[in-house]
Each structure stands twice: as C-alpha cells, then as structure tokens.
Structure 1
Amino acid sequence: MKRLFIFGLGYTASVIARAMREEGWMVAGTGGGNIPFEDEDKVREGLATASHVLSSVPPAEGVDPVLARYGDALKHDWLGYLSSTGVYGDTAGAWVDETAPTGGGRRSARAEADAEWLRRGARVFRLPGIYGPGRSALDRVREGKAHRIDLPGQVFSRVHVEDIAYGVIAALDAPVGAYNLGDDLPCGQNAVIEEACRLAGVAQPPLLSLDEAALSPAARAFYAENRRISNGKAKRVLGWRPRYPTYREGLRSLV
C-alpha cells in the first residue's frame, strides 16, 4: 500500500489528501485533528511507515519547524514541499520561471526553507495565491470584504486548490526540482473582484487608493509585489494542465 505522510493538514493539504485517497493511497499526517505535531513518537512512527512525505508547513520565526524537528527522519525517496512564489520577490510584473533567483523578496525564511528542501531532494511546489471552495473572491464579495485598489499595472498569479492537488499527483514520478503551479492568466486583483461581483450579482466595491483601503500590513504587503508566474515547466515535465486555466473558470465552478 502506498502511504503518504503530510505535515500540516490545513486547507490545501487536506484537498491533496482527499485526492490521494481517491487514487488509492493511505494518508496520515499532522494538524486538522490528526496526529499532533509535537507527538514525536506518533509522528516518527507515521514517517517510518510512509513511502512519501509532503510538508505544507511554512517557516515560523525564521525556522522550518518540520526540518528542525524531524529532518533526521526524512530519508524517503519522495519528498514534497508546498512553497510560495513569494520566494521570487518583486519582478515589476515580468514573467518568472523556476530558473529565476530566489531570496530577494520579503519572504527570506520561506526562500531558505525552499532551498533546503531542494537540497534534500524534494519536489518543491511554488504556489501563488490559492483559492477554492470557501476561500475565494466570491466569498469576500458576498461578505462585503472585497477591495478594488487603484494600482494600474499590478499583476499577480493564482491557482485553484484542486489544481495544486493534481500537480502533486502528477509529480509522484517526476524529477526532483521546483515547479510553479499557477494558472494561465496572471492579472490584476481588480479583474478577479469584478468577475466575482458579476457572478454574485452584487455591486462592485469602490476603487480606492492603498491608504484609503486601510488594509492590514499583510494585505498591504501583498500589493507591494508584482509578478507573472510561468507554469511552462510543470506543463512540460509533469504533463500538468490546470483544470481551471483562468480565474473565470475557477470562480464559475464555485458559484
């Protein structure tokens, strides 16, 4: 029986776990009411019986907690890590692929963890903005929490959570390395909000400046970076194709 152990069964990893179980895998992991991360005996027991290991745990206080606590037990032939396209930093809207340098952006700890997983022979999945059921522009629009920010030229990429799961499955027999999993149409956030308003049948929020929007520091930092993510390597090497190639198909699937 093929067995996958996942560190951090949160929103994205839980979708991956469900997809893997549908493929006939046994899946265990930490978080989400499963094995407590701090229970070393049970975690190490789970790792000892696993054939594959995937981590979705981000760095905390500058340290990757999985590598720090369980790195000595990660001797598996297949390792996976859910990273972020934030490792590329700001590219002023230019396209970026896996050959681009990392570590120059605001997520230095994430870039260091990304590099360490690669050194350990992992498949590293670099993810842009993640959306899906219960976590999308449609939800923010319906809750009255959506913003349209007046930042001409600001562009970013996104990916439906189910397409991440399909990408991980596609990489089970793939070479070690980094893979960008993003959709085919990077665009400004305003276009996504406007489409969500159209689908939900509600008025668009007003167009505001960054200062007028009074965003949280984390949300404001999101707008400080501007890049288009290329998914060409994932298509070429993994044979992966997003089932939701743009935000339009993705949002329609959530109505």
Structure 2
Amino acid sequence: MKLFAFGLGYCALDFIARFGDLFESIAGTARNADKAAALASDRIETFVFGPEREDPGLAEKALAADVLLISIPPGVSVDPVLARFGHRIANLRAPQIIIYLSTIGVYGDSKGEWVDETRLPAPLSPRSVTRLQAEKSWAAIGRGPDKTVHILRLAGIYGPGRNALVNLKEGAAHRYVKKDQVFNRVHVEDISRAIAAAIAHVGPGGVWNVSDDAPTPPQDVVAFAAKLMGVEPPPEEDIDTAEGVSPMTRSFYAENKRVSNRKLKEELRVDLAYPNYRAGLEALWEAGEGR
C-alpha cells in the first residue's frame, strides 16, 4: 500500500512511526518549505501544501495513494484539501481508503450525558460547525464506488510532549473548575491504533469515536499529574470568574459530554493501550515526561 498524509502533524507522524511498515511508500504535506525539509527522510517524501504554495507533483502522488490520511483542520469556512482536491479524488476511478480525523466537538453539548455515533451532531462553536461540514463532504465522497471513508472523531489528544506533566513543568497548568464538568481524552498511540484498524477494516466506511474509557473532570487530571511529580497542584479556579482564560478554553467548558467508544472497540476491535488518563500519564512519567 501507498500512504499519503495531508498534514504531517502530531497524529500523522505518530501513526507513521508506529505503523509505517504497513506501506511500501509514504508521502505527506507540510505548510512551509522549512518544515517539509525537516520532515523529509528516506521514509517520508514531503511536499509543501499551504495557502500560498503547492509543490509540483503533490496531486499526482496523492491520487496514486491507496490510503489518504487527512489531518489538516478546515479553515474558517472551507476544508483546504476538499477545496483543492476533493473533486479529483471523488472522480478518480481507483480504490482508496480515506481516513478523516475530525473531532467530538461536532456533538456539541449533551449536559454531561453519554453520546455515541448515533447521536445527531449539534456543534456549537464555529470551528466544529466547519468540521461537520467537512465530514459530510468526505462522507459523500465515500458513497462513490471506489472510495471507503472512515471519519474518526477524536477526543482531546495527549501523549509525548503534550500532556499535564509537561504543562506542570512549564508552569502552564491550570485547574479550572465547573460543576459536573468532564472532558474526554485519548492518547495519541490509541489514535494511531484506531487509524490502523480503520484501514484494515473489512466492510463499508463509518464514523468512529476515538476516546478512552474515562471522561474525567479536567482538574483531576492535573492533580494526578502533580502527584506523580511530587509537587503541589495549582489551586482550583472557578472557570466563570478566573482571569486570563482564553476564549477557546471557555468554549471547551461550554460543552459537557461523555463520549462512548463502544463501537470503536466492538466493531473496529481496537484494544486501547491507555484506557484512562492514569495509565497514560503513568507511562509518560516513567518515560521521562515532566522531569
């Protein structure tokens, strides 16, 4: 198989590191020439794809791939991959598996109740509205005779270099509190496992929630990380009165839901490496994160 990744970011690079041996060739995009050069290797052929530049040969390489991994977020009103290549991908008469990395944000707010893939999306934030529009467009491409499209709705991502241990070490951790608030999260390794399972799935495409087993109040995650490090956690702050909270952070607290991963485990047969934040943070601490 040949893999083309639109967006060689955190998730795509982790997937390639863990499952790159599945592919005879790997190529992907970066936003600028410096990043493309830094990511290029004997294993990965890189192309620039951004608002101001598209490298020659990019389209040919992408259209020749057996698997497309789409992790570039949409802009204000449009998915850049769909805008530039959607029509050609849809009309290409060659089998392709397309993995689109979306977000559980498309569900909006369920007031803390459990949601699964049967729930009608009701996004609240503009970025989630645009995500849902992109999902629908990719799903439409998947209704063609040659394309299998899997939409992976990702919970909050953590892993090496991106976790509460690192935030505490850098003095960037906060314990914002809102009554009954929970967040959903997933380790990047389990995202990679979900991508690999979707590629191997025999059957039609689908929508899959990718989250761990334990929706948790965010302040508890920081407190556990502090306990591992042997330091005092930052004080709890009411999200409604705390100063210096970014608009994006406030938007996260406007949504409260518990996301079910049952379909991921039962139908894609994904065995989570880190079923809860405790297991994930303990492994990261043992690997030297936050030290």
Cα offset for 1:202?
Answer: 1.2
The equivalent of 1:16 in structure 2 is: 15
User: Is residue 58 from structure 1 mapped to residue 73 from structure 2 by the alignment?
Assistant: yes
When the two structures are aligned, how many residues end up with a matched partner? Answer: 254
**2: distance between equivalents of 1:51 and 1:161?**
23
Task: Give 1:156-167 correspondences, 5 Å limit.
Answer: 156-167=183-194
Is 1:134 the equivalent of 2:161? yes
Unaligned runs of 5+ in 2: 37-45, 143-148, 286-291
Q: Secondary structure at the match of 1:4?
A: strand
What is the CA-CA distance between 1:94 and the residue it aligns to? 0.7
Aligned match for 1:204, one of 225, 228, 233: 233
Change (3 A) 1:89 1:253: same
- For the pair 1:71 / 2:86, whether they are aligned, the reply is yes
Deviation (angstroms), 1:49: 2.4
Name the residue aligned to 2:25.
26
Contact 2:65–2:96 (CA<8 Å) still a contact in 1?
Answer: no
Higher mean displacement: 76-85 or 206-215 = 206-215
2:289 is matched with which residue? Answer: none
SS in 2 for 1:120: helix
Q: Deviations over 1:76-111 (max 9, x none)?
A: 421110000000001111111111111432121111
CA distance in structure 2 between the partners assigned to 1:191 and 1:48 by the alignment? 45
Residue type of the alignment partner of 2:27: A
Distance 1:116 1:20 in 2: 27
Q: Cα offset for 1:167?
A: 0.5
Question: Which residue in the other structure is 1:147 paired with?
Answer: 174
Partner residue of 2:282? 252
Q: Secondary structure at the match of 2:157?
A: strand
Letter in 2 for 1:119: A
Distance 1:212 1:103 in 2: 28
Equivalent residue letter for 1:139 = V
- Residue 127 of structure 1 deviates from its aligned partner by 0.2
* In structure 1, distance between residues paired with 2:14 and 2:151: 17
Identity %: 42
Match of residue 288 from structure 2: none
Aligned mates of 2:269, 2:208 — CA distance in 1: 12
1:6 aligns with 2:5: yes
Question: Offset at 1:24?
Answer: 4.3
Find the aligned partners of 1:19 and 1:149 in 2 and give their Cα distance: 34
Letter in 1 for 2:86: G
More off after superposition, 221-230 vs 21-30? 21-30
Contact 2:47 2:55 in 1 (8 A): no
1:183 maps to 2:202: no
Partner Cα separation in structure 2 for residue 129 and residue 213 of structure 1: 23
Aligned counterpart, 1:83:
102
SS of equivalent to 1:144: coil
| Residue among 19, 23, 48 paired with 1:36 | 48
Please give the alpha-carbon distance, in whole angstroms, between the structure 2 residues aligned to 1:166 and 1:213. Answer: 39
1:118, 1:178 within 8 Å by CA — same for their partners in 2? no
Q: SS in structure 2 opposite 1:134?
A: coil
TM-score using structure 1 length: 0.95
- Structure label with greater radius of gyration: 2
Moved more, 42-51 or 233-242: 42-51
CA RMSD of aligned residues (A): 1.4
